[in-house]
Structure 1
Amino acid sequence: MQPVDADWATDWLTSCGLQVSPPLTAQRIGAGLSNLTYRIEDHAARAWVLRRPPSGKLLASAHDVLREARIVDALSGTAVPVPRIYGARHNATGVPWVLMEHLGGVVIDDMDTAARTPIAERASIGLDMATTLGHVHAVDLEETRLQDLASHNPYAPRQLKRWNRQWEASKTGELPALDSLSRRLERAMPAQEETTLVHGDFHIKNVITDHGTIVGVLDWELSTLGNPLADLGTLLAYWPAHGESDISDRTSASTLPGFPSRAELIDQYATTTGRDTSDVGFWHVLGLWKIAIIAEGVLRRSLDTPADRARTGVPTRDVITSIVSYAHAIADDASL
């Protein structure tokens, strides 16, 4: 079965005023393990992107591509680089799809692509990620009409409550080390002093790069309102140093020479925003904790719906356990 109905997609693109030369072809792109993304191309080599939720049983409030499209559309015209949203609609079976611009550039979503990235560009990419994150947190919520996107209550307890629910709903078995990590985070929650737009899943596989700069920020499905340092913590969680863990060395561009250190990312963010980053250790650990829970959800969906598995495969229980162990080590370093 074709992943995208070509006739349906052609009618949709045409109704959006886009020039289309049939036939269309569709190819799944990205290393994403959540919403499904397809590059569609016409006979004249024009390209667009279609995005939809995964198949199978979904957790409540997860994989909301229509909400994601609203956020991306609201950011058009801000300093945050995002693709243009052309529209959203449901197909004949009721599945929501979003049609968006195809941005040129490179997504560094595997180690081969990272290795091909010129060393001279690697530091620039990492530092520009921290700068771009500062742009996300500078978005005017009223001007973009995103002030009602989520609760303005303190973010840390909201996150712990939400992701504990996700864990209980998706876990494939007990993992006492994760429960212990949850308790450590509950005891160490910092006070919230400001509320900004939060991307929620900001890392190198969710940005498009072009000659050392960030030209697109993707995958806004976890975006919300909260503490900006949460995004910095997520970036650090996906940014291990060489030799720091077996998992990291196989999957993370940041382990290659030339990419900046976590300390350099923190300094760049602090310089860009003027924010105090002294509580970032908590958010780093929270980011790792969420990664483990997300990975468990991916594992659960892969068992339920094998056809939706990403090309990079799915995490194993051993990998998830290793992430939790790594998070405990970072928590020790941060004195949580």
Structure 2
Amino acid sequence: MVTTPRSIIDSVVRSVCGRDVEGLVPLAGGGMNETYRVELAGDGAVVVRIARQDVPWFVDEAYLMTQARAVGVPTAEVLGLEHLEHDGELLSFSIQEFLPGRSLDTLIAELSAAELERVVLDAAEILARVHSVVLDDQRGIRHELRLPEEREVARVAGIVGDTLSPAAAAVVERGADFLYREVTTRATPPVSLVHGDFCPKNLLIHDGSVAGFIDWEFAGRTAPSYDFAQWELDAGDVLHDRLDLVRRGYARVADPESAEAGWTPAFAIDWALEKLGWRNPASPAQVRRCLDVIARYTGA
């Protein structure tokens, strides 16, 4: 990844925070962006995220984070947004409050089964609060179920068949058939705010509690079942089969069955097919998980 010159970062942070930068530490994750913890002169720290896009970035993300925070979702305050040109590129900066903690995916091996269950239940309760936000505009990404295209399905099936087996390719085709039936025969699912990347890597844990939902770049409007499906595909070996915990925690605030409205299988298969077709191939573990989810929902 191209990195932004330190002098530019220093200048933007000084403009937003009114203080000099004493230290800069790259943070893991951050999706497609550069992400840093910035130590400020005197005391304190902020998080700086930098995107390279053709249009100003992070604007919708900041708005949706504010809406979520208003209903009790622990998420960072966005202190400022800056956009500037550098070497022919538009750089977008989001300067955010620093939230203490470690992401849940780095803690799983250190937590007891009871501790892990409690944290997931709490996170799911917070997820229900995210879904309670009713948006009155078109901010954020609209995650719509895609009608499978024959050429793309054949391409993905070919990749999986060459990598694994003809039987695995057949699972892909059954998944596409299932998704096609869901999209063409069922009424449009309910819509709410979704986090867009609900999984352990984006849950900050501090002193045993959920201290933050981070990385709202993919937040937007779609069915709540989108977030349930993300968990199934991306929660990792220990947790991706524990959607029961997510539903139990969610039920503290809202009815998970009504929220999902039977759409989780379709969103899970849609996301699995997308991952299987990535131009930069998914990891073997991701491929296996995608096929497992498709097979389970289609009876393959």
TM-score over 0.5 (shorter chain): yes
Is 2:138 aligned against 1:148?
A: yes
Task: Assess, with a 3 A threshold, how the Cα gap between structure 1 residues 140 and 324 changes in structure 2: closer, same or farther.
Answer: closer
Tell me, which stretches of 5 or more residues in structure 1 are unaligned? 240-250, 301-314
Secondary structure of 2:46's aligned partner: strand
Shift of 1:174: 4.1
Secondary structure of 1:254's aligned partner: coil
Is 2:130 aligned against 1:136?
A: yes
Q: 2: CA distance between counterparts of 1:17 and 1:35?
A: 21
Name 2:291's counterpart in structure 1: 325
- Give 1:84-163 correspondences, 5 Å limit: 84-91=77-84, 92=86, 93-110=89-106, 113-142=107-136, 147-149=137-139, 158-161=144-147
Shift of 1:284: 4.2
Is 2:199 aligned against 1:203?
A: yes
Q: TM-score, normalised to structure 2's length?
A: 0.76
Shift of 1:104: 0.6
Name 1:40's counterpart in structure 2: 38
Q: 2: CA distance between counterparts of 1:122 and 1:7?
A: 42
User: Quick check: 2:224–2:260 contact (8 Å CA) kept in 1?
Assistant: no
Paired AA for residue 34 in structure 2: L
User: Quick check: 2:223–2:260 contact (8 Å CA) kept in 1?
Assistant: no
More strand by share: 2
Task: Assess, with a 3 A threshold, how the Cα gap between structure 1 residues 44 and 66 changes in structure 2: closer, same or farther.
Answer: same
Q: TM-score, normalised to structure 1's length?
A: 0.69
Q: 2: CA distance between counterparts of 1:202 and 1:184?
A: 24
Secondary structure of 1:109's aligned partner: helix
Percent of pairs with identical residues: 19
- Give 1:1-336 correspondences, 5 Å limit: 3-20=3-20, 22-27=21-26, 29-42=27-40, 44=42, 46-53=44-51, 64-91=57-84, 92=86, 93-110=89-106, 113-142=107-136, 147-149=137-139, 158-161=144-147, 174-175=159-160, 176=169, 177-189=171-183, 190-192=186-188, 194-239=190-235, 251-254=236-239, 261-277=242-258, 282-284=263-265, 286-287=267-268, 289-291=270-272, 293-294=274-275, 296-297=277-278, 299=280, 315-316=282-283, 318-332=284-298
Secondary structure of 2:295's aligned partner: helix
Count of residue pairs the alignment pairs up: 284
Q: 1: CA distance between counterparts of 2:291 and 2:202?
A: 25
Secondary structure of 2:76's aligned partner: coil
Paired AA for residue 10 in structure 2: T
Q: 1: CA distance between counterparts of 2:24 and 2:277?
A: 32
Q: 2: CA distance between counterparts of 1:289 and 1:193?
A: 14
Paired AA for residue 41 in structure 1: E
Shift of 1:222: 1.9
Tell me, which stretches of 5 or more residues in structure 2 are unaligned? 161-168
Shift of 1:282: 4.3
Q: 2: CA distance between counterparts of 1:80 and 1:130?
A: 11
Q: 1: CA distance between counterparts of 2:138 and 2:231?
A: 25
CA RMSD, Structure 1 to Structure 2 (Å): 3.8
Q: 1: CA distance between counterparts of 2:65 and 2:259?
A: 30
